[in-house]
Structure 1
Amino acid sequence: MLVNTLRSVRLGILFCGFLQAVSAHSQEALSLQHAIDIALSNDPWVKGSLLKQQALEEQVVAAGTLPDPTVSIGLMNLPMDSWSFDQEAMTQFKIGVTQMFPRGDALEIRQGQLKAESQKYPLLRDDRRATIESKVTQLWLEVYQAQATIALIEQDKALFEQLVEVTRASYASATGKTRQQDIIRAQLELVQLDDRLTVQYQQLEAAAAQLSEWLYQFDAANPDMLMNFDNVVLAEGVAERLPELTLDPLADAGLSRSELARRLAGHPAILAIDVSQQVAHKETELARQQNQPQWGVNASYAYRDSAPNGMDRADFFSVGVTFDLPLFSENRQDKQVSASVAMAESVKTEKLLTLKAMLSQVEKGLRQLARLRQRDGLYSEELLAQVREQSEASLTAYTNDDGDFAEVIRARIAELNAKIAALQIEVDILKITAQLNYYFAQSGSNPAPVMGDN
């Protein structure tokens, strides 16, 4: 009788699992690629980056324009005894214009600096795109892992619930070797499964909340309107199958550290630092222009009235040049040049630190990935099959009154833990693959080198 009851339990569990699968497929689940597409197309940061680049491009035109001329108008040498305009020959009405010119090649250098800085934003957008793909993939996989773990625990929970009923019936009928402690043990495991379910639901809700940050709808054509925070594309769950993520071929190419560093030098984040270095060099050139004199041209016309006796007086026209002499440059211009040189050198250290960090993360990820693949093969080829056989054997022995109920419980828990561990390994492999693919991302933007930079 106990054997027939357990067979009914197995059939009931399979039927419940089938109903759950049909119900899940009836709803539209969120795939990984769909989540990435939504995040990329609804990122307000991209709109802000485009606006900043546009602002710099407009400043390039403005920076190449000469400063506005200045106009002066005045009465000169007006006698104070009579305030008469025609009394004195030196009294005149004068109008003049002055045009100043920037020092050296400051205009051209400033234009090149702004143009170089504007070229950084396409690179930053490439880095942002790669970052979003990696981040959304991580969060999506966390949601998937919690969702799949819940499904595994729910399956075992249904079996444990049936086992509690079977042990109660067997204990009440005084058949077999069922003891009261078996009932208590089954109930205890059932409560512990409820606790594990609660933990997994907590992780699922937390991961889903983090994933929703990237799924809000944003209208880039109308940025004045706030995002609709009630309209988030997040279904009850994600797709039930893991996506296929391909590791960048260079990650498995066995590159040396130097070769790997050269490859990482093409990452958008590193290229953006290169652009910052070009901008810093332009700042140094601009500081050196402060040692050049600033020139100006002025011209004026002075009108004089006729003398009191009617004799005409000639008008005046003046033209001149002005320039300053940077004689006391030791504490100002020279210090500005030294400061800009130091700032340019600091950008080099920033690039080196970023490359070192990226190289370390890549090596760490490759080693973790190798061990995870080794564990994945161990689980898929041996361990999962062995714990399944152990669970079935202990259950068969117990149904034939030749086994211990505690051993059945331990075997079922061991099988559940093995399935969850195998799931964790599969998810971790994809997570590390996504992280490594970020570091091997290449930029679709190739900024033109700025003339005069090394």
Structure 2
Amino acid sequence: MRLIVLAPLLAAIPGVALAEPLTFDAALLRAAREAPSLKASTSGVDAARSSAVAAGRLPDPTINIGIDNFPVSGPPAFTFQGDSMTMARIGIEQPFPNPAKRRAQRDRAQAEIGIAEAGAAVEAQNVRLETALAWVDLFYAKRRLAQLQVLDQSLGELQATVSARLASGSARPSAALEPDQLRAAVNDRRSELAADVAKAQARLARFTGDPEVDVSGDPPILEVDRAKLVAGLASLPSLQALDASVVAADAETELARADKRPDWRVSTSYGRRDPAYGDMVSVGVSIDLPLFSRRRQDPKIAASASEAERARLLRTAGERELVAALDGDLADHVMHHQRLMNARNTLVPLAKRRAELDMASYAAGKLDLGSALLSTLALAEAEDDALSREADVARDAIRINFTYGEMRP
């Protein structure tokens, strides 16, 4: 059903008349390009990839410059004369962390990339979901607002009938006030729906970047298949983020274990002495000795292993939570669909038939105008409630498919 909104009604809602209409798919594409949070997530992924380039590399070498064996006592104290040992020295030292540590550093850097990418996927999914829901909310808010316009027109026609009866003397004078009273109640409802339009438009503008965004076309018709949804849960961005956290925790554990393996350093230096004596070259190797691992490395390994186990348990809990949330959303979807069918097949037809009968009774002089107007208002409320229920069904289908299904980035 296409939405038709008259110009005066649009003018009453700031920003709507000049908005650029977007279809459902176009709004999702615009949000994917314009949402600042997605650009921020992309920058985070780029940062993690840049950091991974340096992971596992050899540390920078160290240069040493100094004076060795400078006398501070005896006849040559504080001079460079008469001492064969004093020399100016320059040297370089290169650390070599053990290969297991460097490999674990690379694995941890790759895990950080996975976490950043999973976080970006989660944010992209959230942006798509919120954009889709905002689009649907704006669509149905405008449809409900347009429906009140039709009621306004019928009240205008009724006002003309009341005026004719007043002129002929067949209606009491107070009857002229009843259409205005009903119109005032409708105006209150219009104000509420206008606020709903503005709020939905603001939410949609948040992701599309267009402060005057508008909607066009119809919402998508989405089917809900529980078996298919459950089969694809493992590929959900939220679970992939938990998987990446497990990989990162395992990398931290391996890095802690690598501390039990010794690192080593190679150094060399050149010593310049008095010209009367020869210069000297020194070469050396130093090796770390992790001899007290019970109080140093082992506690860190145990802590990292516990964090890894915690990450695995959170992954299991996350999957169970998703299954429970899916079943809950499916139950709501079934309930909302049943309510929609009840409104379409029973409530609206009954309200329409009652309004027709009461208006016919009023025309025949068998019913007062107030009762007839109440039936008209009840019909409008029933039709508005049916649209609200239709919106609930559409929101459920979008939320389920965009959260658990294939309609995700």
Distance apart, 1:38 and its partner CA: 1.3
Q: Deviations over 1:199-253 (max 9, x none)?
A: 111222222222221121xxxxxxxxxxxxxx63514xx33x53123235x33x4
Match of 2:14 in 1: none
Deviations 1:56-92 (A, max 9, x none): 2222221222112222233333445346646233333
- The equivalent of 1:69 in structure 2 is 61
TM-score between the two structures when normalised by the length of structure 1: 0.79
Look up the match of 2:6. 20
1:279 aligns with 2:252: no
* Cα offset, 1:263, TM superposition: 3.0
- Structure 2 residue aligned with 1:36, among 28, 46, 51? 28
Answer yes or no: is the 8 Å Cα contact 1:297–1:322 preserved in 2.
Answer: yes
Match of 1:265 in 2: 234
User: Alpha carbons of 1:202 and 1:75: their partners in 2 closer, same or farther (altered >3 Å)?
Assistant: closer
Q: How far apart in 2 are the matches of 1:358 and 1:179?
A: 63
**1:86–1:306 CA contact under 8 A, matched in 2:** no
- C-alpha distance after superposition, 1:335-365 (max 9, x if no partner): 2222222222222233233323322221122
Q: CA deviation at 1:438?
A: 2.1
Q: What are the residue-to-residue correspondences of 1:31-110 with 2, within 5 Å? A: 31-79=23-71, 81-82=75-76, 85=80, 87-110=82-105
Question: Judging changes above 3 Å, is the alpha-carbon distance between structure 1 residues 404 and 321 closer, same or farther for their aligned structure 2 residues?
Answer: same
Structure 2 match to 1:243 = 219
Correspondence for 1:377: 341
Report what 2:266 is aligned to: 297
Letter in 2 for 1:246: L
| Counterpart for residue 419 of structure 1 | 383
- Using the alignment, how far apart are the partners of 1:19 and 1:50 within structure 2? 40
Bigger drift between 419-428 and 130-139 goes to: 130-139
Gaps of 5+ in 1: 1-16, 217-230, 308-312, 446-454
1:436 deviates by 0.3
User: Is the CA contact (8 Å cut-off) linking 2:131 and 2:203 kept in structure 1?
Assistant: no
Kindly tell me: are residues 211 and 124 of structure 1, through their superposed partners in 2, closer, same or farther at Cα, counting changes over 3 Å? Answer: same
Q: How does 1:162-241 map to 2 (within 5 A)?
A: 162-175=157-170, 178-216=171-209, 232-235=211-214, 238-239=215-216
Is 2:41–2:116's contact at 8 Å kept on the other side of the alignment? yes
CA shift in 2, pair 1:85/1:98, >3 Å = same
Check whether the contact 1:245–1:434 (CA below 8 A) recurs between aligned residues.
no
Aligned pair count reads: 398
Distance in structure 2 (CA, Å) of the matches to 1:385 and 1:322: 91
Per mean C-alpha deviation after superposition, the further-off stretch among 431-440 and 377-386 is 377-386
Per the alignment, in what secondary structure is the counterpart of residue 232 of structure 1?
Answer: coil
Aligned-residue Cα RMSD (Å) equals 3.0
Alpha-carbon separation, structure 1, partners of 2:288 and 2:5: 88
Judged with a 3 Å threshold, the aligned counterparts in structure 2 of structure 1 residues 74 and 198 are, in CA distance, closer, same or farther, namely: closer
Cα distance between partner residues in 1 of 2:327 and 2:363: 52
Shift in Å at residue 188 of structure 1?
A: 2.1
Structure 2 alignment gaps of length 5 or more: 11-16
Please give the alpha-carbon distance, in whole angstroms, between the structure 2 residues aligned to 1:74 and 1:122: 48
Q: In structure 2, what is the Cα distance between the partners aligned to 1:87 and 1:340?
A: 59
Contact 1:302 1:316 in 2 (8 A): yes
C-alpha distance 443-274 of structure 1, shift in aligned 2 (>3 A) = farther
Aligned partner (choices 124, 133, 145) of residue 129 of structure 1: 124
Aligned to 2:139: 144
Q: Within 2, Cα distance between the matches of 1:442 and 1:386?
A: 40
Tell whether the 8 Å contact from 1:358 to 1:439 is kept in structure 2 after alignment: no
Q: CA–CA distance in 2 between the matches of 1:47 and 1:150?
A: 35
Aligned partner of residue 22 in structure 2, secondary structure: coil
C-alpha separation in 1, matches of 2:405 and 2:335: 24
Does structure 1 conserve the Cα–Cα contact (< 8 Å) formed by 2:23 and 2:218?
no
CA distance 1:93–1:283, shift in 2 (3 Å): same
8 Å contact kept, 1:387–1:415: yes
* SS of equivalent to 2:6: helix
State the alpha-carbon separation in 2 of the partners of residues 85 and 339 from structure 1. 55
- Gap change, CA 1:443 and 1:437, over 3 Å in 2: closer
Deviation, 1:112, is 1.3
